[in-house]
Every structure is written in structure tokens, then in C-alpha cells.
Structure 1
Amino acid sequence: MPREMTYRCYTCGTYEPHRQPRDDRERNVIRKLAKKRKGNAFVDDYWICVSRDRDCRNIRYAYDDNPFDPPVKMPEPE
């Protein structure tokens, strides 16, 4: 089960709960983004905002609240 941590969310502008990717679809989205950013990255170093007040889904790197320019949101499941 994915863990949940509180991190600063770039798009919310506040500290919000974030979770790790929960399924292969989300892990594949992050893999593609991470390869563009670094060439090789550990998927579990990326977190998804799960703000209780808004439907954010912003993706952040564990050590960088804005790793993508422009910010990237996890797509809704089809």
C-alpha cells in the first residue's frame, strides 16, 4: 500500500498530504516524466498531491516541489 507524507505542494501553495503512485498506470506516467527530467529515476521518489480540499494531483519529486515546468498533474484514470 502506498505511503502518505505531508509535503509542500507547488500548485496548492500549502503543505498537503501526498502519496506514492498506487498502480502500474501511475508508475508508468511517472517513469515517462522522470526519464525526460533525469534520464534515470526511482519512481518511488515521486509523490502525488491528495489535497482534501481540492482535486490537485500535482506530481512532485521528494526533494523538489516543482520538478516540472510547467507543473504536471497525474491524469484521471480512464
Structure 2
Amino acid sequence: MLNGKQQSAHHSPRALVDHMEDYLGHFGLKRVRDRKVSAQYCKNVRGRLTRLFEECRFRWLGDDGGRTNAK
């Protein structure tokens, strides 16, 4: 079993946008209270995650948006 750092390193070569697409694709299979996840919900999640990634400048898993070197 991999620890958190090993899991992050394993997935880090992929951009967060790619992980987001996989996550949203999972909604096509998911059911909540015996109903499929709505297209509107998927659209809202995509918009919120995209905004988060852009405003925080997150591009890769483990990315801190350039804050490591901030003074």
C-alpha cells in the first residue's frame, strides 16, 4: 500500500485538469439516492474546480500555486 507522498508522486505527472476530467467522468456512473448525478451538478462542479485551479494557480497535484517561495 502506498503512503500519501507515494500516491501523490505516482499521479503528479498528470495535470489537475486531467484529474478533474476523470472525477467528472465518474459522475456518469455514480448514483445518489438512486438517481444519476445531474448535468447541471456536473457543470457546477467543473466551473468551481476550474475557477479554483485558475485563481490559486494550481496546475499539478501537490502544486502550491507558487507560494513556496513567497516572502
Q: TM-score, normalised by structure 2?
A: 0.25
| Structure of higher RCO (CA pairs closer than 8 Å, 6+ residues apart) | 2
Structure 1 or 2: more helix by fraction: 2
**Over alpha carbons, which structure has the higher Rg?**
2
